[in-house]
Chains A and B, each alone.
Chain A
Amino acid sequence: MKAPTLSRPRAAERRPRMNTEREMEHRRMKRMDFLQSMCFMGPSFLGVLVFFIVPFLVVVYYSVIRNPMNREFVFLDNFTALLQNAAFLSAAKNTLLFSALAVPLAVVLALGLALLLESRIPLKSQFRTFFLSPMMVPVASIVLVWQVLFNANGVVNDFLGLTGADKIDWIKSDYGQIVVLTLFLWKNLGYNMILFMSSLANIPRELLEVADVEGASEVYKFFAIKLRYLSPTVLFVTILSLINSFKVFREVYLLTGGYPYGGLYMLQHFMNNTFESLDYQKLSAAAVIMALAMVVIIAVLFKVEDWFGKDVEG
């Protein structure tokens, strides 16, 4: 420490020096922080860059050129060609139809299960375990059972036969999607249910108690209180189920192979079969369209949730 002098340095003289020192120190800290943070994030970010981002940019590039040999810019030609491709259109239609059926069911039924488990019944935690157990079973292990159930001579037909219905070979019929839908719900409901259960547990108890005192009915409590607090989870489960419904190719492939009956020809079948012929333009255009569609759908869902849950904080 310097000895105090009679004449203090004038403010104008002093402040700039202090500032630059502090600024430099500050800047050095910031640089250190940045370097350190990059060291931690680096491996992951580099991997994502190399395996996802850079190649995806190339995919975008591929989708607007004639072909890898003749790199002429053709803008939307590949997309219009794809949108006129019958296989792509039917695959897109089937996938959308399946998602339109599967996603709402997966959300509503899972919420139903979670609400059932809210009441005070014996064996509650066992039920939770049972409902969750299908997620642990690899699809490949379980398709045999579905074949037994939905075969022309299978169990489901036996049951329906009691009502006088004709035997049908479910997987090879127009109802093929129902077979896959049951498998999809069986596998995914437990996971969604857990998400809803934890979110239900986070609703402030006082609110529900007040509603009880005021004599609100269960139905009113559900729509006026619970659903409001659940809305972020509903959003998440919807998105999750949507992605999983795009993955249902897996179930279809294990049940029927690469070339299923019409109604079960999914987008991933189209992709796989296009990989075999290595048509980069088709593949790239399809991937770009799917990515855009996903972003749009997610953005819309976010907006809807923002609007719906706006009066609930947290």
Chain B
Amino acid sequence: MRKKRYLSRTVIFILCAFFAFVFLMPTVLTISNSFMTQSELNANYGVIFNAGAQGGTSYISEKVNLKFIPDKVSFGQYKTVLFMSPDYLLKFWNSVILVVPIVVFQVAVASVAAYSFTRWRGKARAFIFFFYVILMLMPYQVTLVPNYLVSEWLGILDTRWSIILPGIFAPFSVFLLTKFMRRIPYSLIEAAKIDGAGEWQVFTRVCMPQCRAALYSIAILVFIDYWNMVEQPLVLLPDAEKQPLSVYLSTINSGEVGLAFAIATIYMVPTLLLFLHGEEYLVEGIATQGSVKG
């Protein structure tokens, strides 16, 4: 019996290790390949990315090598990206100035709204909350058309505002933060009211400090979501100059594979740092969604 359990645990461990390899491989490959020189990359992936070009690259191998460890660690690609081609940095900056305001203001707007949904309950409010949930579940194919129309009316089409403003009022954080706040014992709020605190004071002094972890985890989730955006800029921000790196990365042509790996890695850095720093919060944030009901 005991032996059998030991055996099954070993099998499970091996399975997990296999999955871990599968899940980590693409990320690790991207990062490690960003430290390779262009010639090494050509040697490994030449068949793929240089297939059409008749350049004098004589060292193209017949097959693709998945190579994890560079022969020689080189920062050449990074040097090119960071110092010689301002285009990429500009796109990176575009991403930052689109995403940061969305995260900050979405969380701010959501936290007051979530307080309202937590503090006052009633039929009308339950209906509005239900409506938020439905809206949250709508795919881009539905929400982008209304967003486009408003942007056109307000004359902000093809400016950053056309992405930032709808982003700020996206219902996702309202939903999640309400779920968090409803866990705060109501007696805390009541006690504060008896002590003579006004609504605003209850909100800032009682509710917000309780929600600090929740705010952080929601900010991470929203950040990842928008850092990764492709649909909205393609429709609302056709001007290539203002597009974020998430869209621009796909236009890098095959001649620059080495650069592409380096840029891809740079683009991962903010989200990976957030992940390493706030994994517990992130997990908590995901887990709290639990179900759409209630």
Q: Which residues from chain A sit less than 8 Å from chain B, CB to CB? A: 33, 36-38, 40-41, 43-45, 47-48, 50-52, 54-56, 58-59, 113, 116-117, 119-123, 126-148, 151, 153-155, 158, 186, 189-191, 194-195, 197-199, 232-233, 235-236, 239, 243, 246-247, 249-250, 253-254, 257, 267-268, 271-272, 275, 283-284, 286-287, 290-291, 294-295, 298, 302
Contacts and interface: CB of A to CB of B under 8 A. Distances in A.
A125 to B, nearest CB: 9
Q: Which 6 A-B pairs have the closest CB atoms?
A: A47-B169, A55-B146, A198-B287, A44-B113, A40-B116, A141-B264
Contacts of B245: 140
A178 to B, nearest CB: 15
A121 B11 CA distance: 10
B30 A41 contact: no
Contacts of B224: 135-136
B1 interface: no
A37 B230 contact: no
Interface stretch (B13-21, B75-83, B184-192): B13-21
Nearest to B245: A140
Contacts of B174: 44
Nearest to B27: A137
Most B CB contacts (10 A, CB to CB) among A47, A151, A275 go to A47
Most A CB contacts (10 A, CB to CB) among B66, B250, B257 go to B250
Contacts of B199: 36, 40
Contacts of A151: 47-48, 64
B47 to A, nearest CB: 4
A253 B234 contact: yes
B138 A44 contact: no
A51 B230 contact: no
Interface string B258-283: 00110011011001101100010011
A253 B166 contact: no
Contacts of B96: none
Contacts of B120: 33, 37
Nearest to B166: A51
A130 B250 contact: no
A119 B8 CA distance: 9
B205 interface: no
B142 A287 contact: yes
21 contacts: A33-B120, A47-B165, A51-B147, A55-B145, A55-B147, A137-B30, A140-B250, A141-B30, A141-B249, A141-B264, A142-B30, A144-B257, A145-B26, A148-B45, A151-B47, A155-B66, A199-B290, A243-B139, A249-B230, A253-B230, A254-B249
Nearest to A271: B141
Most A CB contacts (10 A, CB to CB) among B20, B30, B115, B291 go to B291
Contacts of B73: none
B39 interface: no
Contacts of B25: 145
A286 B141 contact: yes
B148 A275 contact: yes
Interface residues of B, number: 92
A126 B17 CA distance: 10
Given A120-B9, A148-B48, A298-B134, A246 B141 contact: yes
A182 B242 CA distance: 31
Contacts of A36: 199
A138 B268 contact: yes
A249 B47 CA distance: 27
Nearest to A145: B26
A246 B140 contact: yes
Contacts of B19: 113, 116, 127, 130-131
B271 A249 contact: no
A134 B145 CA distance: 30
Contact of A268 (B141, B165, B168): B141
Contacts of B30: 137, 141-142, 144-145
Contacts of A131: 19-20, 23
B47 A153 contact: yes
Given A52-B143, A154-B48, A247-B139, A122 B13 contact: yes
B239 interface: no
Nearest to A266: B141
Contacts of A40: 112-113, 115-116, 119, 199, 203
Nearest to B282: A132
Contacts of B203: 40
Contacts of B38: none
Interface in B166-185: 166, 168-169, 171, 174
Given A40-B113, A59-B149, A144-B30, A121 B235 contact: no
Contacts of B27: 133-134, 137, 142
